[in-house]
Every structure is written in C-alpha cells, then in structure tokens.
Chain A
Amino acid sequence: MHIFLPIALTSVNLWLVVGLGLLVGLLSGLFGVGGGFLMTPLLMMIGIPPTVAAATDANQIVAASASGTLAHWRLGNVDFKMGLMLLIGGFTGGAIGVHVIKILRATGGADFLIKMTYVVMLGLVGAFMFFESLHALRKGPVTPVSKRSAESHAKLKGTKKSLWKSLPLQIYFDKSGVTHSALVPIGLGVFVGILAAIMGVGGGFLMVPVMIYMLRMPMHVVVGTSLFQIMFTCVEVTFLQAYSNHTVDFVLAILLLIGSTLGAQIGTVLGRKLKGDQLKILLAVIVLAVTVKMILGLVMAPSLLLAPGGGH
C-alpha cells in the first residue's frame, strides 16, 4: 500500500515507513535518544529528499519523545530540574552552532566540518561506551538498573571533590541523586547544542553519554530526562523548519509517529527488563555501525558524482 507525500513529493510504502518509525521509537524508549542520526539516513535511503528527511524526523521525534517522556515520568525517571538546565544550555548552544555553520557555509568549509564532526563524535562516543560497558560486563555479574543506580549513588558519595564541585550555584538534583553547580549542566548543554546544530541532529546520542559519564546520573533517569529535553529541542526545530524552509512533511511525520510512539512505549517496557550495561553496549554497537557506514561512504568512490543539495 503506497501513500504520496505532499512535501517530499514522492510515494512511499506505508508499512515500511510505519516500520521505520517503530524501530527508531524502540531505540528512543530504550536509550533516550531521538534517533535522528539513524532515521534521517534511513529516510534518505527510501527516496526522501535530505532537507525534508531531517525536518520531518524532528517532527516525529516530538511524538516519540512525548510518548517516552510520559512513560518515564510515570516511572519517576525524569529529572525535570536537570532537564531544564540542559535545555537552557542546549538552546543557547544550538543558536551558536547555527551561526557557526552560517559563517562556514559562506567560506565553503561547512560540509567538511559537518562530516568530520559526525564521524569523530559518533566514533568516540560509540567506542567509549562500547569498551566501558564491555569492561563492566566482564568485571562481574550484571546488576539490574535499579540496583546499579543505587550503587552509582553510593559510589558518587565517595568520589573526591572535583574542580566542578568548587563552582558556584551548587544544586542537589534529588531525582538523580547528584550535586552539581548549575553551570555544569548548562555548560554541557551548550557544548552538546553546538555540536548538535553543526551535525543537524537532536543530540540525544551525545547528551546521553554526557549525562552518564560527566553528570554521573543513573541510567534510568538519564533516559527519561534525555527524552524530556529532546522533546523541547525538536519542537523548536520542527517549527523553525516548517516556518522558514517549508520542509516538514505532515503525512510522512504522521506515518512515522504512529510507529515511533508505539515503539517508544515498547522500548520503555523492554528497557526495564534489560540491564544498564546491556543497554549501553547495544546503543554503542548501533552508534559504531552508523560510524562505520559513514566512514565507508567517505572513502569509497561514489556511484554518482552529483547529489541533491541539503543533508549530509
């Protein structure tokens, strides 16, 4: 069964698109990532123009992340205080990143920077998560998510005071069980926001490791809080893309969100049954697979030397 997309100007198989939504929604519920780094290339593979793929993906992520945030909020897994601070930083960083890209586009160095940032960040994040989780899995019996979070709290108490602890505006984030200066999540939000804007993605795959490894938040709170933050980022992106570029395809977004909202719910339930390190290693494998595909695309001679504008 086919359906014509009014803005993408192409016809797609209805079930294929719903299936893609389901798959990416599943990842969203499991890992707290928007899945933009995966969905946009998949949409381009089925013939959606790059600009429409990126903008519409942001639209469907709003649905998946709203669905996921609700599910995690019911489980008590959303740290709204932390999410808000990351969001403030993320919005600021996003604005800076968009400006950087504008300047680079004018000088002609944008595409190179975008590609290299993508490969380096995906590769680093994927490799780090993979080896860290592998090490944890080998070390001993796997602890369930709930136990692990309690352990990480205890571990944190014993951690010596870092430089961050001497910063002003120290706040206790009770949901995550951590104390940080407000400047830390805001600053990290700015950093992720800049990179996300350069790469044209929501930044979930960067934000999740930042929360785990730098903010030392427990895994289950990371997922819920990341989804909460992604929802707002994608609301902003959807509106700007629809208003300025007319690239949001409503029909495509609806098909994707039918799948992704269901997937996000299934992912959340599944995530409760998996262990924290198993979740991390799974996400790491997906991120590394996308990185390898991108590297192959960069070093192998393309079959076509021309491409439509937009996208990566």
Chain B
Amino acid sequence: MRHLLKGLAGGTLAPIAATTTFLLLFYAPGAFGVTCKIAPDRVAITLGYHGAKLSISGQSGPADGILIQIQSPPGQTHLKYKGKAAGFLWMKMGTMRFDNIPSLYMLYTTAPLDDLLKPEAQKKEGIGYAALKERMIIHSTRKFIDKALWTGEFIKFKEQENIYRIRPQAVHMAAGGGEFRLELDWPFEAPPGKYAVQVLAVQDGRVNGSASGSIRIEKTGVVEQLTQLATRRAAVYGLLAILVAIVAGIGVGLIFKNIGSH
C-alpha cells in the first residue's frame, strides 16, 4: 500500500478535461473486493471557490467498519514556536521544522478509531494521529524538544487551520459490510495539490481489504493566471498592482469631486 501511495504522490497526471463533473476516478478491487469511487476527483479553484462537496463511496466485503484516510505526501512544515521572553512576555522565539509529516491529514470512519483498530494496529498501518506523531521528526533552534508536547501542538495548529481532522462515524455503511458512503466538505484552506485517498475495510481489529484513489485540487482561470504573473513576471505584477491602486484612488477621488460639485 505504501508503494502505491508513493507512486500516486510522485507520478505525473494526464491533462485535465472537466473539473467539476461527476466521474469515476479509480476502481481498485482490494484483497476483499473493496472499491473506491470519488466524485468529483478534480476540483477547480476559481475566483468563487469556497471549498467543495465531495463524496467517496464504494463496496467492501464483510467488514466491521470502514476507514477513509486522505493525506498529502509526507514533507516539511516550517513554523515559529512561541515561548516566554524575559520571563513573562509570550512571543515567537525561534523556528521549528516538522519533517516526514503530511501538510493535510483527514480520517473519516464508521466508528471511533480505537473501537475499530487497536493502537498497535493503528501505528502499524500508519493510521491516526498517534501514528503521525510517531513518525514526525522535529528540528528546532530550541535546545530541548519535548516531542510529545510539540507533536501535539503541531496537530492542534493544523486542526485550527482546518486541514487536519478525524471524524468518527462520518462514514455510513450497511450493517456487516457492503456499500459505504462519505459526504465530505473539502476545506478551502487546503492548498492546491494532489491528495491520496485510502479506503480500508476493517474486521476483527485487522485491516482485511483496501482501495485507493486521489483528489486533485488546482487553480484555474484568473486565479491561475494571476499566480503565474505574480511568480514569473513579478516586476510587471508589482507595477500593475501599484498602477491599479493609483488609478482607483484618483478615479474615486474624481468621482467624489463630480458628486460634490453637483
């Protein structure tokens, strides 16, 4: 499964035709015939974008529960840590780099995670916050790093950013297995990119089948054009921003003058 996720994260995608239409992304019969259908699997960020409604559905064999995990490839996150200066003033004291950790992580389940998988199994399968914390590596300008404290703070920070979440009982499944379905609100805070989706069927405390897919979020139209201009032709972008501001300022001034003179 890890190889499959790595492949998905590092691979290239074919050009995109339609972005918002319902389509079948990936159909992968797992060990016990688990399937995964994501709709839509590609989301266009336009000027009116405010997140998206996605649905992930499929079939599983006999199962006690379903876990749906969505994450970005592991990478680095640079943050500032706060501490007390002069004994009583809280301020940013230095930098902290978190390695081997996804920038986005979501887990949706049919039941509380601990009821479906034991802590050891969660770590083994790389599921849940405990597994993330275990593989997280922290580098910092701070001399002493309390890993339990800072991994916990990292997750709190990401949850506040709305791009880390665990939602038990959000996945609906027929009793004893079969069809499952998740309706999810994709957060607008999630940056553009490709996110791996992993569906796991669980029975008797063990994973007995899985399927995978991906969600692609990308800028299009004016949003993409402005991003390109800002990064590739920064001087033109800067001058344009100044020019528009001056013209708008003077323009409104002249309108007010005309209004005032009538």
A residues lining the B interface (CB < 8 Å) = 2-4, 6-7, 9-11, 47, 59-60, 62-68, 70-71, 74, 108, 111-112, 115, 235, 238-244, 246, 248, 250-251, 253-254, 257-258, 261-262, 264-265, 297-302, 304-309
Contact = CB atoms under 8 A, between A and B. Distances in A.
B254 to A, nearest CB: 8
B47 interface: yes
B230 A246 contact: yes
Q: Give the secondary structure class of A's interface.
A: helix
B242 A71 contact: no
B235 A243 contact: yes
A6 B48 contact: no
Contact of B248 (A68, A112, A257, A307): A257
Interface string B69-94: 00000000011111101001111111
Interface in B68-120: 78-83, 85, 88-96
Interface in B161-205: 188-189, 191-192
B227 A10 contact: no
B159 to A, nearest CB: 10
Contacts of B227: 6-7
A307 B80 contact: yes
B230 A63 contact: no
A299 B91 contact: no
12 contacts: A6-B219, A6-B227, A11-B49, A63-B252, A68-B249, A243-B235, A243-B238, A244-B234, A250-B226, A250-B240, A261-B253, A299-B88
Interface string B21-49: 00000000000000000000000011111
B234 A67 contact: no
Given A2-B48, A6-B230, A304-B160, 6 more contacts: A4-B47, A4-B48, A47-B189, A242-B234, A250-B244, A257-B248
B47 to A, nearest CB: 6
A244 B156 CA distance: 32
Contacts, number: 179
Contacts of B191: 9
Contacts of A111: 91-93
Nearest to B154: A306
A112 B242 contact: no
Contacts of A258: 248
B230 A60 contact: no
Nearest to B225: A6
B246 A62 contact: yes
Nearest to A307: B80
B244 to A, nearest CB: 7
A3 B48 contact: yes
Contact of A243 (B92, B93, B234): B234
B249 A66 contact: yes
B141 A108 contact: yes
A207 to B, nearest CB: 19
Interface in B226-258: 226-227, 230-231, 234-235, 237-242, 244-246, 248-254, 256-257
Contact of B80 (A251, A264, A306): A306
A178 B174 CA distance: 84
A47 B150 CA distance: 23
A311 to B, nearest CB: 9
B75 to A, nearest CB: 16
B127 interface: no
B226 A251 contact: yes
A60 B239 CA distance: 13
Contacts of B156: 304, 306
B62 interface: no
Listed residue (B188, B189, B223, B252) with the most chain A CB atoms within 10 angstroms of its CB: B252
A6 B45 CA distance: 9
A73 to B, nearest CB: 9
Contacts of B226: 6-7, 250-251
A68 B83 CA distance: 41
Given A66-B245, A70-B253, A301-B90, A4 B238 contact: no
Q: 3 smallest A-B Cβ distances: which pairs? A: A66-B249, A242-B238, A70-B253
B189 A309 contact: no
B80 A71 contact: no
Nearest to A295: B89
Given A4-B223, A306-B81, A63 B245 contact: yes
Nearest to B152: A305
B153 interface: yes
Listed residue (A59, A66, A240) with the most chain B CB atoms within 10 angstroms of its CB: A66
Given A4-B46, A59-B241, A309-B79, A66 B157 contact: no
Nearest to B98: A306
Contacts of A65: 249
Contact of B82 (A66, A68, A302): A302
A254 B227 CA distance: 15
B244 A254 contact: yes
Contacts of B160: 304
A206 B35 CA distance: 64
A238 B227 CA distance: 16
B78 to A, nearest CB: 6
B58 interface: no
Nearest to B255: A265
